[in-house]
Structure 1
């Protein structure tokens, strides 16, 4: 018995069928290509539609109510609203400083309004001698008397009490103060002229004394001020 099975008469294999009908293969391939093309077009259009965002809803701005004093018509809902910012003119703004400067005040000098800090009250200093000195000088004379001026000068830096001691020959009998703040007394063979007050630092004064006499002579044998010799002449 033959192992091969005899083919049935009239039966055809698949390769033989494809070979005998070539247009069937072309038709199937064309259908596949068309299906792929349609699929690709649908996929591209879907992606393109997703890339475009949907349109945004319309934006409506709020409207401002009309002011009662404004004569302009109130805007409607369809008109755009324009914001206007009011500004002040520089000429209308007040001056930052309302107080007038010292130089603008009539009748008042700047130095009187704001004195300089470097200014200080003057300091009275004594003269170069640095001590109290006196000068005796005859200013008038006649037969029975003569007038002498005592000039006092406080060259120290402080107020001083003062007295001048005078010694004459026996012809001078009496003395009296004619002018100046002083008193005169006698004692110890001479005369003492004392100031009635203190003599300020750096200040000077003059006292005039009249001496009564018998005979001649008007120069003292001794003149001292606080123990220091006077200048005579």
Structure 2
């Protein structure tokens, strides 16, 4: 018994060591299994679901509050429409085209021509002269487009002492004195018509040309 006791102790020790080795092996395998299963949570992959746009683009698109998806081609135009200027109404064209396209202006009224188009006009023309008289011609033209009555105011120097007027349609002469005479048609002058008056004026000196010649207040041509 005494001689076999050391072997018993040795066997017991070997058994204890074996048990310890098994326990140690099991204890090391447990963490290996846990460490092998630890990479499981990163498989969720939350990173790919984040927006792929740069941070700067996200900050610029935020004020527009548009529902366009991040990274779509319309993101840049959406940022550009955040200006304060209102968009032009549909169908009216751009504001520039509307401001650069003014309404058509009416044509200017035609200026009166030398023949009195659009107005009542008259002309005085010297025809001949001798020592104590001269002859002249008056022409009154109605360019107003309606019948009008006319009166001509002729003023000469004091050297003119008499006047005689003749015209087919009829003309009257009023003497105002001091070389001034008023001539008027005996009836209205039709639209587009003209009346010619022949004058024979007596004088004591010069004065072939009038110092004033008007028809219904408008100056007449003297030549």
**TM-score, normalising length: structure 1:** 0.44
Largest Rg, 1 or 2: 1
**TM-score, normalising length: structure 2:** 0.46
